[in-house]
Structure 1
Amino acid sequence: MSDKISNMLEAAADRTVTVVRGITDEQLGAPTPCSEYDVRALAAHLFQVVVNFQALAAKKDADFTVPPEPLEGAWRERFAEETVRLVEAWAVPGADEGTTGAMGLPARTVGAMVLGDLTVHGWDLARATGQPYEPAGVLLDVVGEEFRALAPMGREMGMFGEPVPVAEDAGPFEVLLAETGRDPGWTRR
């Protein structure tokens, strides 16, 4: 697998789409490792992220202040379709070059942000619904590096919690989760 954002997004999306398809209606009210979201709210948030980051790939602005659309009808399949569009948007030549939208951040950093959201929120949803989740290993170096750099700004903006301590022998994914303020040992009730 190359280190192109679109290739890594495809790997992350495949894993997260599998989790989203496995969410039952009865699980939508369950808590997640993101204490401010239940499964329904987190899935809706991730859906919104996937759509907005398509615009950012095209160097357009995205509005994250608009509340996410409610999950209705065949939302799981629509989520899968939107992840395909996300991968396609980031595969366009030049998508990961220059700066992106009003964020004014390097496009590759913005691509790593959505890659991280798919990976970390995929884990959140899997944990909340009792599903397995193993991120693609190649993603962890890119996401870990970018998230370490973004962590101070992420905490300031309320997107990341305070880091959680992990054991010295923690793996890269556990370290990444802890850096975002998640307890890698979180389990559903």
Structure 2
Amino acid sequence: MDQIGAYDKALREFDTRVHHVEPAQWRDATPCTAWSVKDLVNHVTGEHLWAPWLLRGATLTEVGDRFDGDVLGDDPVGVWDRAAAASREAFHVPGALNGRVHVTGGRIAAEDYGWQMIGDLTVHAWDLARGIGDDDRMDEDLAREVYDRIAPQASAWQGSGMFAPPVDVPDDAPVQDRLVALLGRTP
């Protein structure tokens, strides 16, 4: 699967779940135990507010703290829609993923940043679906692509606080279950 195709699928997976959130569900819990539904959507929205800046070459200092805190306000779906549209446009600029971007750990290949964003969208779509009681099945090809890219790196991330320890699942479990389990979620 090409990267832009994977990005578009992952964005649709998350976007669909955002549009299924009922007004009374924004405070509900998610599998990300420290985050409510609103906190989770706020996190992903914030990342997509950053994306156009980073893909244009902005430094962390240039972006500053403009996307800290509650970026959703009283219009979580509307703010998400605008952030997702701007992020999608930035990812689709020809050559956007050929350079390097500034992230907390330094400068990395824009392509690697893109796969991180794809993984985050995919797994958090599952988290959001679970948080709101929606259908949590994701595109199988997308789940396989993300799993294949994350699995070799996952052990290096353990202990970073980004994810809970992996959850044991059978080797023949569906790829979606193996993906979320690898990142500390119980399928």
Length-normalised TM-score, structure 1: 0.85
Of 79-88 and 121-130, the range deviating more from structure 2: 79-88
**2:164–2:183: 8 Å Cα contact kept in structure 1?**
yes
160, 163, 182: which is aligned to 2:185? 182
Give the fraction of aligned pairs with identical amino acids, expressed as a percent. 27
2:158 aligned counterpart, secondary structure = helix
Moved more, 40-49 or 63-72: 63-72
With over 3 angstroms needed to count, the CA separation of the structure-2 counterparts of 1:100 and 1:145, relative to structure 1, is: farther
In structure 1, the residue matched to 2:98 is 97
Quote the residue 1:187 is aligned against: none
Determine if the alignment matches structure 1 residue 160 to structure 2 residue 152.
no
Unaligned ranges ≥5, structure 1: 185-189
Question: Which of the residues 103, 113, 116 maps onto 1:113?
Answer: 116
- Alpha-carbon displacement from aligned partner over 1:30-79 (angstroms, at most 9, x marks no partner): 11111111112111111111112232322333469763325323320221
113-122 or 149-158, which moves further after superposition?
149-158
- Does the 8 Å CA contact 2:144/2:176 hold for their aligned counterparts? no
In structure 1, C-alpha distance between the alignment counterparts of 2:141 and 2:79, rounded to whole Å: 27
Task: Report the counterpart of residue 24 of structure 2 in structure 1.
Answer: 26
Matched with 2:146 is: 143
Q: 1:54 pairs with 45, 52, 57, which one? A: 52
Q: What's the secondary structure of 1:101's corresponding residue? A: strand
Q: Give me the whole-angstrom Cα distance separating, in 2, the residues matched to 1:160 and 1:83.
A: 24
Unaligned runs of 5+ in 2: none
Greater Cα offset, 104-113 or 65-74? 65-74
**Secondary structure, counterpart of 1:104 in structure 2:** strand
Return the letter of the residue paired with 1:12.
A
Matched residue, 1:39: 37
Larger CA deviation: 88-97 vs 114-123: 88-97
C-alpha root-mean-square deviation of aligned residues, in Å? 2.2
Distance (whole Å) between structure 2 residues aligned to residue 60 and residue 138 of structure 1: 32
Quote the residue 1:173 is aligned against: 176
- Is the contact made by 1:6 and 1:91 (CA closer than 8 Å) also made in structure 2? yes
Match of 2:131 among 128, 131, 134: 128
| 8 Å Cα contact 2:55-2:101 kept in structure 1 | yes
- SS of the residue corresponding to residue 167 of structure 1 reads coil
Q: Does residue 78 of the first structure (1) align with residue 85 of the second (2)? A: no
